[in-house]
Amino acid sequence: MSEVKKTGGLAGIVAGETKIATVGKEGVGLTYRGYTIEDLAANATFEEVAYLLIHGELPTQTQLDTYKKTLKALRGLPAPLKTVLEQVPKEAHPMDVLRTGCSALGTLEQETSGHDQVAIANRLLATSPSMLLYWFHFAKSGKRIETASNAPSIAAHFLEMLHGKPASDLHVRVMDVSLILYAEHEFNASTFTCRTIASTLADFYSAVTGGIGALRGPLHGGANEAAMELIEKFQTADEAEKALVQMLHDKKLIMGFGHRVYKKADPRSDIIKVWSKKLSDACGDNVLYPVSERVEAVMRREKGMFPNLDFYSASAYRFLGIPTPMFTPIFVISRISGWSAHIFEQRSNNRLIRPTAEYTGPQQRAVVPIGKR
């Protein structure tokens, strides 16, 4: 019998090959198709990054203009989907809304030769903000918003639908950078779920719906919500430090710190932290950002742990006026680009993903008749 490598959560196991991203490689950090996350966040838009992930190369200006025009034309929701969204309870978590919306859209606009995987990827990128915010406004006030708009980008479209008016250039840029940072991250739980489902030759919507379900958990996508719930408890940095030290003494889990792959730092964290600070300065904040910095300092001092992308994304989203339950759905809106790229890649050289397990249960035994048990 060959030796079985035992590892919790498949840590360190190479489960396949990809040309899409590198994560945590020594001296590299995070790259999308060879471009560093720092370079992309500084010099590209989310639409450029989505195009890169899906098509393999950054677009020319003509290609980008065409791509944005295509996405803009796909923002509207079909009437039957609106009816489905109106049936979702107002108490539902927004992640459940996106999971339901994606599945429902898959029944209305099924994958066919005339509606292929690229068309579906575009449609989901364009409609995910629309689905989320159509439900949000209907559940909140009974208002049926128009989801088709001329907003120039997905970031601008999201913020305009949320607040009912165009967002400032600063707010749009921060939202855009956030989408870039969340777009792709190699074989994480949700992406691997998408690839596993795709490997069965299931349709595109099934794979993405499964990805949304995997991202729903607080150990994957929900960490930014948990981070915000912690940060907003405190009114001063000193209060935060005192409480956090006690929480650590009580061995409570602090979300938004550390990473399964990165060992020294999350390269995305420093980027979103800069933008969170800009938003803090712009609105005259003297609580949220200082509390966040103190929490970071305490975690470094007491546990030697660094913030991951989720931690400062929480304060950035709050400065943008985004309700906490929408933090993880934003992750979905962005990650559809990376999921799509991985579904394409899996399909291009497919083999059913079917690992083996080491059995640790009882040895073979006989069934005792029920009257003698």
DSSP-assigned letters across all residues of 236-300: SHHHHHHHHHHHHHTT---TTB--SS-SS--HHHHHHHHHHHHHHHHHT-SSHHHHHHHHHHHHH
d(CA 228, CA 322): 11
> What percentage of the chain reaches a pLDDT higher than 70?
97
Q: Where are the domains of the chain?
A: 21-217+327-348, 223-319
- Say what the pLDDT of residue 233 is: 94
User: In b/e form, how buried is each residue of 229-257, taking b as 16+ CB within 10 angstroms?
Assistant: ebbeebeebeebbeebeeeeeeeeebbbb
d(CA 7, CA 188): 16
Is the pLDDT at 24 greater than 90? The verdict is no
- Say what the pLDDT of residue 263 is: 80
The pLDDT-based confidence of 261 (bands split at 50, 70, 90) is confident
Main-chain dihedrals φ then ψ at residue 24, nearest 5 degrees: 70, 15
Q: What is the mean pLDDT of residues 201-208?
A: 98
The structure tokens 């394409």 sit at 344
Centroid of chain to Cα 354: 25
d(CA 316, CA 228): 10
Is 216 or 12 the better-scoring residue by pLDDT?
A: 216
- Say what the pLDDT of residue 126 is: 98
Active-site residue, from 220, 250, 281, 285: 220
- Per residue in 212-244, pLDDT tens? 999 998 878 888 898 999 999 999 999 999 999
- Say what the pLDDT of residue 158 is: 98
Topology classification of domain 21-217+327-348: Citrate Synthase; domain 1 (1.10.580)
- Report the alpha-carbon angle 82-173-75, nearest 5: 20
Structure tokens at 239: 């209060």
Q: Does domain 223-319 have CATH number 2.40.128.20?
A: no
Decide: 226 and 307 in contact? Cβ < 8 Å. no
The verdict on whether 250 is a catalytic residue reads no
- Per residue in 292-315, pLDDT tens? 999 999 999 999 999 999 999 999
Cβ-based neighbours of 87, under 8 Å, separated by 6 or more: none
- Say what the pLDDT of residue 27 is: 67
Mean pLDDT score across all residues of the chain: 94
The pLDDT-based confidence of 54 (bands split at 50, 70, 90) is very high
d(CA 260, CA 278): 29
The verdict on whether 249 is a catalytic residue reads no
Amino acid type, 299: M
- Say what the pLDDT of residue 209 is: 98
From the DSSP assignment, how many helices (H) and strands (E) are in the chain?
16, 3
Is 221 or 182 the better-scoring residue by pLDDT?
A: 182
The pLDDT-based confidence of 2 (bands split at 50, 70, 90) is very low
The SS3 of residue 96 is helix
User: In b/e form, how buried is each residue of 143-176, taking b as 16+ CB within 10 angstroms?
Assistant: eebebebebebbbbbbbbbbeeeebeeebbbbbb
Q: How far apart are the first and last CA of the chain?
A: 35
Q: Which of 352, 343, 267, 261 is nearest to 14 (CA)?
A: 261
The verdict on whether 185 is a catalytic residue reads no
d(CA 46, CA 44): 7
Active-site residue, from 157, 185, 310, 342: 310
Decide: 44 and 71 in contact? Cβ < 8 Å. no
- Per residue in 310-352, pLDDT tens? 999 999 999 999 999 999 999 999 999 999 999 999 999 999 9
Active-site residue, from 171, 259, 266, 342: 259
- Per residue in 102-145, pLDDT tens? 999 999 999 999 999 999 999 999 999 999 999 999 999 999 99
The pLDDT-based confidence of 3 (bands split at 50, 70, 90) is very low
Q: Which of 205, 156, 143 is nearest to 47 (CA)?
A: 156
The pLDDT-based confidence of 8 (bands split at 50, 70, 90) is low
